[in-house]
A = this chain, B = another copy of it.
Amino acid sequence: MRKVSIVGIGQVPVKKQYEKRMRQIAAEAVKEAMEEAGVAKVDSVIAGNMLADELQGQKHIAALIADEVGLDLVEALQVRAATATGAAALRMAYLSVASGEADSAIAVGVEKMSGGPATPALAKALDARYEVPSGDTLISKNAQLMRMYMDKYGMPADGLVNFSINAHKNGVTNPNALFQKEIDAETVMTSRIISDPIRLFDCSPVCDGAAAVLLVPTEEARAYHENPVHIMASSVSTDRFRVEDRPEPLLLRAARMSAVTAFRRANVNRKDVDFYEVHDAFSIMACLLLEAAGFARQGEGWRMAAEGRIFPDGDLPLATLGGLKARGHPIGATALYQTCEIVQQLTGRAGKNQLNSPEIAMLQSVGGAASTVLTHIFGV
């Protein structure tokens, strides 16, 4: 199996409503990544998108994007894993290069959530027979988990505010972030209830965006870029599909299993991770992921946030360029934005958000109510 590295990244700024079409912003991100690597062709285009079936009336988006980029007669396939779709695209592009079938592969994610009602389309990540008909959405599922967490571990109502505060603070200086404005605890705690106990500022926003990364074999990476970033591991695990069926709903087993697998494949342990791009679609999810990945004991993830250990100067910085909360969460593109940001951090190109010489980063991406979780580990 060949080792794989990233030699180009591309991101369009996340917006609430993009005036451009889906295919156009996707193509912009791809072209930017290809330009950075100095290539005019790639072997493979793997596309991630979750909602275009409903919101744009468009399937078959991988071939559509390849055509829009001007790539003719290439491999193009679409991959999905609900809200972890961007990471699924990264994984398939990784396998394409690792296997030897492709010598260069683009992973591109795109989502135009402004194209129509996103919440019901997103809810299809849950069980259409046993969950959705009773009104469940991803928000209500996360609210349920947050309520259980507060009850079981005695977390106060404002226990998670630092996840949002940190994300918004980091978003201020990321030109690609949707929100570039600091917030404080009062902003969070006085924002309206969306699904009790989740408030507006516990949630990531509906938005549009596209991001891409270009992968090549590590042994050839320096021919494309002086500072390649290596994908040290890629993994994915399922859990029981419905939260109700899980032995311990507050333990995200898919996140734990995929983290354990990724650490083994990368031959590192969690102490080696310098920063963690977490799936903070909801603050409670970020908290549960910290625990599942082993960065905090169960019931204590919120304390890591409350103690400020997730801030840029903490021992495990999170959401370093704004996270899903402030940079935005254009579903199929999200993990690819995070990958781009990890590349920025690991190569000293994170601008005002630059951490102090990080060497290893971890990314986790959550599908639905954590029925699927992908983990990627990156290094320089």
Contacts and interface: CB of A to CB of B under 8 A. Distances in A.
Interface of A: 1, 21, 45, 50, 53-54, 56-60, 62-64, 66-68, 71-82, 88, 91-92, 95-96, 98-101, 121, 124-129, 132, 234-242, 245, 253-254, 257, 367-368, 371-372
Main secondary structure of the interface of A (DSSP, over half): mixed
B78 A77 contact: no
Given A73-B237, A77-B79, A79-B92, 18 more contacts: A53-B53, A53-B124, A57-B124, A58-B127, A62-B81, A66-B238, A67-B240, A67-B241, A72-B240, A77-B81, A77-B236, A77-B372, A78-B79, A78-B88, A80-B80, A95-B99, A98-B99, A99-B99
Given A59-B80, A77-B80, A101-B95, A241 B129 contact: no
A75 B46 CA distance: 18
Chain B CB within 10 Å — which of A63, A67, A79, A254 has the most?
A63
Contacts of A245: 67
B241 A63 contact: yes
Contacts of A45: 238
Copies in the complex: 2
A141 B237 CA distance: 40
A3 to B, nearest CB: 11
Given A77-B236, A78-B81, A60 B367 contact: yes
A67 B121 CA distance: 21
Contacts of A242: 67
Nearest to A66: B238
Contacts of A124: 53, 57-60
A127 to B, nearest CB: 7
Given A62-B372, A63-B371, A124-B60, A253 B95 contact: no
A77 B88 contact: yes
Chain B CB within 10 Å — which of A58, A59, A77, A237 has the most?
A59
Which 8 interchain pairs have the tightest Cβ spacing?
Answer: A99-B99, A60-B82, A67-B241, A58-B128, A59-B124, A1-B100, A57-B128, A53-B53
